Amino acid sequence: MSVNQHTHAGPPYGHPQPGYQGYQQPAYGGQPLPGVPHSPYGAYNGPMPGYQQPVPPQDSVRAPPTSGAPPPATGTSLPSGHLGYSQFGQGDVQNGIPTSAAPVQRPPAPQPFLPGSAPAPVSQPPTFQQYGPPPPSVQQLSNHMAGMTIGSIPACAPPPAGLGYGPPTSVPPVSGSFSATGSGLYTPYTASQGAPPPSVSQGLPLAQPPFSGQPVPTQRLPTEVPGFAPPLSSTGIEPSSYPPTTGAPRPPPMPGPPLSGQTVAGPRMSQPNHVSSPPPPTTLSGPHPGPPMSGLHGPPPPTHPPQPGYQMQQNGSFGQVRGPQPNYGGAYPGTPNYGSQPGPPPKRLDPDSIPSPIQVIEDDRSNRGSEPFVTGVRGQVPPLVTTNFLVKDQGNASPRYIRCTSYNIPCTSDMAKQSQVPLAAVIKPLATLPPEETLPYLVDHGESGPVRCNRCKAYMCPFMQFIEGGRRFQCCFCSCVTEVPAHYFQHLDHTGKRVDFYDRPELSLGSYEFLATVDYCKNNKFPSPPAFIFMIDVSYNAVKSGLVRLICEELKSILDYLPREGNMEESAIRVGFVTYNKVLHFYNVKSSLAQPQMMVVSDVADMFVPLLDGFLVNVNESRTVIASLLDQIPEMFADTRETETVFGPVIQAGLEALKAAECAGKLFIFHTSLPIAEAPGKLKNRDDKKLINTDKEKTLFQPQTSFYSNLAKDCVAQGCCVDLFLFPNQYLDVATLGVVTYQTGGSIYKYAYFQLETDQDRFLNDLRRDVQKEVGFDAVMRVRTSTGIRATDFFGAFYMSNTTDVEMAGLDCDKTITVEFKHDDKLSEDSGALLQCALLYTSCAGQRRLRIHNLSLNCCTQLADLYRNCETDTLINYLAKYAYRGVLNSPVKAVRDSLINQCAQILACYRKNCASPSSAGQLILPECMKLLPVYLNCVLKSDVLQPGPEVTTDDRAYIRQLVTSMDVAETNVFFYPRLLPLTKADVDSDSLPAAIRNSEERLSKGDIYLLENGLNIFVWVGVNVQQGLIQNLFGVSSFSQISNTLSTLPVLENPFSKKVRSIIDMLHLQRSRYMKLIIVKQEDKLEMLFKHFLVEDKSLTGGASYVDFLCHMHKEIRQLLS
């Protein structure tokens, strides 16, 4: 459940997206901002119309969390790939709140920033409205309190006494209503439905004793439960799970008898999420005390003993609850019959008591980051994508190549339908491996080629069974028996394994490559090395902005870095150049020429290539002619007045050139405007914001003509992949222009309102990486499965001419293909299920290869086993792609509703079949899916599914295409961005500071934060940041002098500047695109854009906050169960 996942929550609060991928947005009226060099966002002119501007009460401080979140287990490990976090002393003041002796009251509207200084007006509505008057009857309140126990319930515990869900009548909604503006997605929580329960007991901190002796305010679980062995999976969250919101003062401890098995020691300050102190051990190995569970009660216990000092109980609550707990604040206000007086009703569900993505990520890092992940065992769930771990291939493909939504799949289709958990694999066939891991071995079987099953044509792999002394093998996919070719024969040892088992990658490893024979090649002849053709728009906008000159300068050096096979001295790739506006210009750069020659084709309706010899050349041979051409192009078009462009003929020209050269290749097209010139593929401006939230909205995502789909088909047949770099100043119709790129397996990059000074770094970095990265051409992928399941649906950037083969003109190391499987028969627990992904492609040296990835999964007859082996990050990746494809054919609202419904069914099925009987008022989530609600809400609030008024149609189409081929790590940080407190970074270590949750209430005015989502990096500066820090980071003396137009931080010689720049460099290395840097000053107009990414908060486009959405999901689940 990785946490960096993140939807672009609803559109930014009424402000334009950071340019997606750093694209600048048009100002509201499509005008660039005055005074700011084409800033990347819409004109944020102060407060949003229609939203009142609350002014936080002066001197108010956020009170301690109402529900007892135990202190955080902070700082155990960190964002992908870095070392430990800095340790801060326990007495540190957190988030600018001084520790004071007396608890403070929560103000009516929670403050946007944790105070520490006089609050300033914020231009954002209060996130939560208060609860109104206390509920009339204490009974009703307890109904809510019983509310949401997120955490499985004892398998056979009696339901909590007196916690029936009586019909509450007058508890007002928790935080406004759920109604999404204009979308009608969520029905408001009306009084008749009852307010969402105020307390989510997360297996909950509610019932957990504190760490030895920490003062932690908390409520007791309203029920007494005898101690049972904990069932495995439900979210019995370790006590360390939810950090208090901020280091607010704690109420004094209440004396009381210690729980059984609990030691009481001196108090320790609890700390907020980003201050680290050594956490208590979370999981140790060894069996759980208590009887093993069986049947459908709930998954068997995990293999780690209870926390020290806790007597673990079924449920994930700990110890028996009897009377006031030591070190706990008194009973929860308002709970009847627990030895306490009813108090005022709680204001709202405490965010610290609900599952925290940050905590889940930290726990996985500390538990699974130190040991290598060895792939020898069937059906192992890998560490999260946010954990930095090493993989040892011992027979199953690395999770870097394949991740599944579940590693234990139902034996029958009925069981799969009942659970509604999609069975899918996210496959990244050419994924880049870290240097410490071995690349797949290349196996050459000579002219006979790879050994395959006679019937299903599966390739030899570790799961094939050799029989009859090694003379034949039985296929693990279709059970057919095939003769072993004489040259491949080998004797078996006493266990039935071949004697050469460890010498042959295809018998002992999950991933490997075969050299393909001529039978695997087009027209039965080996391919030529591929070619790269650079096609540059030289219309007025491109020349005037300095883009043409920039591209030409960069190409001079970049051509030395074309991809090449490991041991080759130079790249085998040939290059060609075309420029265009309304007509096309081809260049002859043959090495024997003194000067390049230009040939113009003005008949764009019937495109042809005017020269064969001299168009595609070897870079080293033609170096001087190419350099001369690249110097001349900017000069030749310097005075152009041509503003119109063509687009279809440009792709046709590149395709024809590759056909003539009889090779595959890639077109790099640099394009600036809607192609309105008279030519095939001409488009009209059809942008229409009025279609949003209507049944016709889907047309905005569909291409406006079939011309490009037909062209894409021809490109795929030739192996012509198209990468598109767009530089629009207005609507460009990405939905149509992107069709060829998308169907050929290419990439789109978009730089709206391109400005040399602010955007050139990003563009040049993207271009360099795009030209240099590993790519396979003329690729075909097929996924085979063992009997019982089959691949039925595919998502990604590719073309399919039949139901089984995924065809891509190009496939690079960043692209994923997501495959969904359905049952067509029963599976057996003994044999499990197998997948084999075979990719046939041409390498950049022109070698035809087969890359094979194998994976074995377990099969189960108990739903509990399915829910215990799911991977939420992969599930969200699949659901987002499924929804983003859905908008092509269905109204956006219907897509959102079906997502919510499917997730409610997944969780309701778990509740009904795997959790023990308990009050309907309890929300119980499976342990490995406890982040499903928060991440799903992020997908629902993303710009594709819930755009704000300033998100352009092009942005939505662009993001939709981008997400469709993202891997799990990318969707994770895209939907739930990573938020790092830079001021907490240890300047003396290489590690990143511990991440914090994506909510405004986690920000302090005295700190600087960094937020990244894979496309943008925001640096948010609080108004009260010390002058010294501002000087060290920005090189200016005060907050008001910080420029928000910086695209890079100044290089200053001081530890803080070096540390922040090294963090940004580290993040750039982890992402496939160069992220745009945006400086956001608190209370500045850009802040609305930044807040759009604080995805746990309510969004101005009507997207629910995490707390509200969890309540909404709970209501949906209860409706399904009743």
| pLDDT of 1031 higher than 70 | yes
Q: How confident is the model at residue 921 (pLDDT cuts 50, 70, 90)?
A: confident
| pLDDT of 973 higher than 60 | yes
Q: Which two tokens stand for residue 1049?
A: 């931080």
pLDDT tens digits along 219-278: 333 333 333 333 444 443 333 333 333 444 444 444 444 444 444 344 343 333 333 333
- Amino acid, res. 237: I
* CB contact set of 812 (below 8 Å; sequence gap of 6+): 430, 745, 747, 773, 774, 775, 776
Average pLDDT in the 970-995 region?
A: 96
Average pLDDT in the 165-174 region?
A: 38
| pLDDT of 215 higher than 90 | no
Q: What whole-number distance in Å separates Cα of residue 728 and Cα of residue 687?
A: 14
Alpha-helical runs (H) found in 499-639: 505-508, 540-544, 547-558, 623-636
Q: Identify the residue with better confidence: 42 or 995.
A: 995
- Amino acid, res. 279: P
C-alpha closest to that of 466 among 432, 443, 430, 490: 490
- Facing residues of 647 across strands? none
Phi, psi dihedral angles at 94 (to 5 degrees)? -100, 140
Q: What whole-number distance in Å separates Cα of residue 794 and Cα of residue 783?
A: 10
Distances (CA, A) of 1016 to 152, 603, 617, 1115: 38, 42, 37, 35
Q: What whole-number distance in Å separates Cα of residue 216 and Cα of residue 210?
A: 6
Within 13 Å and on the Cβ side, how many CA atoms surround 1050?
Answer: 14
Angle of the 1027-1034 helix axis to the 1055-1070 helix axis, nearest 10:
60
pLDDT value at residue 349: 79
DSSP 279: P
59-73, 626-640, 670-684: which range is least confident on average?
59-73
pLDDT tens digits along 545-590: 999 999 999 999 999 999 988 778 899 999 999 999 999 999 999 9
pLDDT tens digits along 128-145: 443 344 443 333 333 443
pLDDT tens digits along 112-130: 333 334 434 444 443 444 3
CA 116 to chain centre: 33
Place of tokens 């493909």: 397
Q: How confident is the model at residue 739 (pLDDT cuts 50, 70, 90)?
A: very high
Give exposure, 760-782, as e/b (b: 16+ Cβ within 10 Å). Answer: bebbbebbebbbebebbbbbbbe
pLDDT value at residue 347: 54
pLDDT tens digits along 496-538: 999 999 999 999 999 999 999 999 999 999 999 999 999 999 9
Burial class (CB in 10 A: 0-12, 13-18, 19+), 885: middle
Q: What whole-number distance in Å separates Cα of residue 1009 and Cα of residue 1012?
A: 10
Average pLDDT in the 336-361 region?
A: 70
Q: Identify the residue with better confidence: 55 or 656.
A: 656
Whether 349 and 196 have beta carbons less than 8 Å apart is answered as yes
- Facing residues of 726 across strands? 671, 750
Q: What whole-number distance in Å separates Cα of residue 943 and Cα of residue 952?
A: 9
pLDDT tens digits along 1052-1106: 999 999 999 999 999 999 999 999 999 999 999 999 999 999 999 999 888 999 9
Q: What whole-number distance in Å separates Cα of residue 879 and Cα of residue 501?
A: 39
Give the β-pairing of 423-427 and 817-823.
antiparallel
Q: Identify the residue with better confidence: 965 or 262.
A: 965
3-state secondary structure (DSSP) of residue 740: helix
| pLDDT of 942 higher than 60 | yes
Q: How confident is the model at residue 452 (pLDDT cuts 50, 70, 90)?
A: very high
pLDDT value at residue 1067: 96
Q: Which two tokens stand for residue 426?
A: 């996210």
Q: Identify the residue with better confidence: 803 or 196.
A: 803
Q: How confident is the model at residue 638 (pLDDT cuts 50, 70, 90)?
A: very high
In this structure, the chain runs to a length of 1122
pLDDT value at residue 1032: 97
Torsion of CA 1088, 1093, 1095, 1096, to 10 degrees: -60
Q: What whole-number distance in Å separates Cα of residue 909 and Cα of residue 915?
A: 9
Q: How confident is the model at residue 618 (pLDDT cuts 50, 70, 90)?
A: very high
Whether 274 and 214 have beta carbons less than 8 Å apart is answered as no
Distances (CA, A) of 886 to 112, 168, 893, 974: 36, 37, 11, 19
Place of tokens 């997502």: 899
Distances (CA, A) of 408 to 609, 857, 867: 54, 6, 8
| pLDDT of 4 higher than 60 | no
Q: What whole-number distance in Å separates Cα of residue 787 and Cα of residue 689?
A: 49
Average pLDDT in the 1015-1038 region?
A: 96
Q: Identify the residue with better confidence: 985 or 147.
A: 985
Task: Please give the model's pTM, rounded to 2 decimal places.
Answer: 0.74
* CB contact set of 58 (below 8 Å; sequence gap of 6+): 118, 119
Whether 1076 and 997 have beta carbons less than 8 Å apart is answered as no
Average pLDDT in the 23-39 region?
A: 41
| pLDDT of 37 higher than 70 | no
Whether 300 and 234 have beta carbons less than 8 Å apart is answered as no
* CB contact set of 411 (below 8 Å; sequence gap of 6+): 826, 827, 828, 829, 859, 860, 861
pLDDT value at residue 112: 38
Q: What whole-number distance in Å separates Cα of residue 364 and Cα of residue 367?
A: 5
| pLDDT of 59 higher than 70 | no
Q: How confident is the model at residue 917 (pLDDT cuts 50, 70, 90)?
A: confident
SS (H, E, C) 127-160: CCCCCCCCCCCHHHHHHHHCCEECCCCCCCCCCC
Q: What whole-number distance in Å separates Cα of residue 985 and Cα of residue 1056?
A: 8
| pLDDT of 206 higher than 50 | no
H/E stretch holding 660: helix 648-661
pLDDT value at residue 1044: 87
pLDDT value at residue 612: 83
C-alpha closest to that of 8 among 1015, 839, 1110: 1015
* CB contact set of 902 (below 8 Å; sequence gap of 6+): 420, 879
Q: What whole-number distance in Å separates Cα of residue 180 and Cα of residue 896?
A: 11
| pLDDT of 318 higher than 60 | no
Whether 247 and 271 have beta carbons less than 8 Å apart is answered as yes
pLDDT value at residue 920: 78
H/E stretch holding 934: helix 932-940
| pLDDT of 33 higher than 70 | no
pLDDT tens digits along 83-123: 443 444 343 434 433 334 343 444 444 333 333 344 344 44
- Looking at every residue in the chain, the average pLDDT score rounds to 78
Average pLDDT in the 769-782 region?
A: 96
pLDDT value at residue 348: 67
Q: What whole-number distance in Å separates Cα of residue 1103 and Cα of residue 10?
A: 6
pLDDT value at residue 590: 97
pLDDT tens digits along 782-821: 999 999 999 999 999 999 999 999 999 999 999 999 999 9
pLDDT value at residue 325: 37
% of the chain beyond a pLDDT of 90: 66
pLDDT tens digits along 870-891: 999 999 999 999 999 999 999 9
| pLDDT of 763 higher than 60 | yes
Phi, psi dihedral angles at 320 (to 5 degrees)? -90, 150
